[in-house]
Chains A and B, each alone.
Chain A
């Protein structure tokens, strides 16, 4: 890896929910300019907790940052409120899409664009519509009536409306058909090639490693493996754990993108391994 200073750096981060043991246990992560960083891991590894910590929304789930720091352009993000973090340029498309179902596609995008200066909003919107022509076709529809894939596109598009300096994507492939997953992968590449660094949290390691430059694998709240995406894709451990290889234990089969719920995450244990025991 080269030595350009990272745009976003997470240092020695420890988080937890309530009084339970730590969900993230001394995690470090650096996002280099212009790159895609994949964060892999099975259910309960702490992937969404990491994104919540970055976006400042842990408190909404009864969690908190216990120690460590998150810095972006010299700003300490871990001291800011969620809205301020978004306004600083770190924008998240949350797990499970969370589009505003009772609002139209157009209105969802407008909410995303609220923090963008007015003169630039239409340019943002055009960019999103270019990227997702489906959304242009459905602009007057209620978001709740869209298909899963369309909702995912809307969730990403909504985040792009805020002109992110770093885009955080939480499991964009969740629950989507393989063809759509490929499409999401291409979209991440396109967004990144237009200059936006991306943190891509994924259970689908195959897709994530295809589009990422760097990658880490979280296991029970710790960084188990880190390196370039190519290194991880070539590593036997990653193949065994996340790519459905034949390296002993077969938990973390990447075909299985089951529900990654809060509850499972809070237990701090990967769910899939439970099935295999």
Chain B
């Protein structure tokens, strides 16, 4: 019972981080109609810059990393994706894969064989509640994740940008006819998604989260958020949040009860199972394509 509780807290912490990444996927998909396979490289670029700034203190390093990821996302959208607006969606997906390879390889080249950890002040600290031991890092992740998710949901529901964003996701032309500036809204969406990826890496690349620091392994870890977005429903913000937690908890339980090396497979198995039953994900709209 204590194990289960402990797993649940730690899994929820990971889940919150996956939810931030999945939200990024969903926001970009809704704004652009493209699945952004360069998301992992945003994570890695943010992590790399945060690592470079790490002797300035964690706060400065964190802000630098988050901004890097956000600006890189805007750069990808403005310079590459926006110019090929009318391209085939498959071509745009390949474009994001191309960006992903370039950024990831560049970071890997700069780091050579290093896989440096980011070390927030709470790294490797634990809290004990009776028999339960919880990593502080997971609690901070959970708290940060919940605050950001709440803020985003409020942003979507109550602000002009959120309204524009949702209107445009549903019907780009009708939104433009209502004065929504498509280009600005889309760029803002990529910015937000990039910033979230930058926040996520501040947890992903710590010793608490995994055995890998800023490296290709973290890039792979970011890809685990992809099933989170898919199983929640690619066009559902709420689905991304649920999907993130499903993935985090699945990983934690599978690692404990089945085997550590099975955790990632379990995540993708859950995704496949959901897709077989609900092809558009748990909360996705049935017709994702615009008519």
* Residue ranges of A at the interface with B (Cβ–Cβ < 8 Å): 55-57, 60, 81-83, 86-87, 91-92, 94, 98-103, 107, 110-112, 114-115, 158-159, 162
B238 to chain A, nearest CB (A): 12
A82, B176: Cβ atoms closer than 8 Å: yes
A158, B178: Cβ atoms closer than 8 Å: yes
Chain B contacts for A162, CB-based, 8 A: 178-179
A101, B170: Cβ atoms closer than 8 Å: yes
A sample of 11 cross-chain residue pairs with beta-carbon separation below 8 angstroms, ordered by A number, consists of A57-B173, A57-B177, A81-B176, A81-B181, A98-B174, A100-B170, A100-B171, A102-B166, A114-B178, A114-B179, A159-B177
Chain A contacts for B171, CB-based, 8 A: 98, 100
Q: A86-B179, A111-B178, A114-B180 are in contact. Are A100 and B167 (CB under 8 A)?
A: yes
B78 to chain A, nearest CB (A): 16
Taking a contact as CB atoms closer than 8 A, the residue among A55, A102, A103, A110 that contacts B177 in the complex is A55
Q: Cα distance A162–B170 when bound, in Å?
A: 19
B160, A114: Cβ atoms closer than 8 Å: yes
The verdict on B285 contacting chain A, using a C-beta distance below 8 Å, is yes
Chain B contacts for A92, CB-based, 8 A: 177
The verdict on B144 contacting chain A, using a C-beta distance below 8 Å, is no
Interface of chain B residues 215 through 246 with chain A (CB within 8 A): none
Q: Cα distance A38–B200 when bound, in Å?
A: 56
Residue among B172, B174, B178 with the highest chain A CB neighbour number at 10 A: B178
Chain B contacts for A56, CB-based, 8 A: 176
Chain A contacts for B172, CB-based, 8 A: 60
Chain B contacts for A114, CB-based, 8 A: 160, 163-164, 178-180
Chain B contacts for A83, CB-based, 8 A: 176, 179-182
What 0/1 readout, one digit per residue, does chain B (15-40) give for beta carbons within 8 Å of chain A?
Answer: 00000000000000000000000000
Q: Which residue of B lies closest to A93 (CB)?
A: B177
A117 to chain B, nearest CB (A): 12
Extra 16 A-B pairs, beta carbons < 8 Å, given A100-B167, A103-B170? A56-B176, A57-B176, A83-B181, A86-B176, A86-B178, A91-B177, A91-B179, A98-B177, A100-B174, A103-B166, A107-B166, A111-B163, A111-B167, A115-B178, A159-B178, A162-B178
Q: Cα distance A48–B270 when bound, in Å?
A: 47
Chain B contacts for A82, CB-based, 8 A: 173, 176-177
A56 to chain B, nearest CB (A): 8
The verdict on B82 contacting chain A, using a C-beta distance below 8 Å, is no
**Interface Cβ pair total, 8 Å cutoff:** 71
Chain A contacts for B285, CB-based, 8 A: 102
Q: Cα distance A237–B177 when bound, in Å?
A: 35
B64 to chain A, nearest CB (A): 34
A14 to chain B, nearest CB (A): 22
Q: Cα distance A99–B291 when bound, in Å?
A: 13
Q: Which residue of A lies closest to B160 (CB)?
A: A114
Chain B contacts for A60, CB-based, 8 A: 172-173, 176
A94, B173: Cβ atoms closer than 8 Å: yes
A103, B178: Cβ atoms closer than 8 Å: no
Q: A83-B180, A112-B178 are in contact. Are A107 and B163 (CB under 8 A)?
A: yes
The verdict on B175 contacting chain A, using a C-beta distance below 8 Å, is yes
Residue among B160, B177, B179, B182 with the highest chain A CB neighbour number at 10 A: B177
Chain A contacts for B180, CB-based, 8 A: 83, 111, 114
Q: Cα distance A58–B176 when bound, in Å?
A: 12
Q: Which residue of A lies closest to B235 (CB)?
A: A102
Chain B contacts for A87, CB-based, 8 A: 179
Q: Which residue of A lies closest to B185 (CB)?
A: A83
Q: Cα distance A84–B90 when bound, in Å?
A: 31
Q: Cα distance A114–B178 when bound, in Å?
A: 8
Q: Cα distance A243–B162 when bound, in Å?
A: 46
B286 to chain A, nearest CB (A): 11
Interface of chain B residues 148 through 174 with chain A (CB within 8 A): 160, 163-164, 166-167, 170-174
Q: Cα distance A274–B164 when bound, in Å?
A: 42
Interface of chain B residues 177 through 230 with chain A (CB within 8 A): 177-182
Chain A contacts for B182, CB-based, 8 A: 83
Chain B contacts for A94, CB-based, 8 A: 173-174, 177
Q: Cα distance A180–B227 when bound, in Å?
A: 48
Chain B contacts for A111, CB-based, 8 A: 163-164, 167, 175, 178, 180
Interface of chain B residues 271 through 291 with chain A (CB within 8 A): 285
B189 to chain A, nearest CB (A): 16
Q: Cα distance A42–B182 when bound, in Å?
A: 32
Chain B contacts for A158, CB-based, 8 A: 178
Q: Cα distance A83–B166 when bound, in Å?
A: 16
Q: Which residue of A lies closest to B175 (CB)?
A: A111
Q: Cα distance A162–B179 when bound, in Å?
A: 8
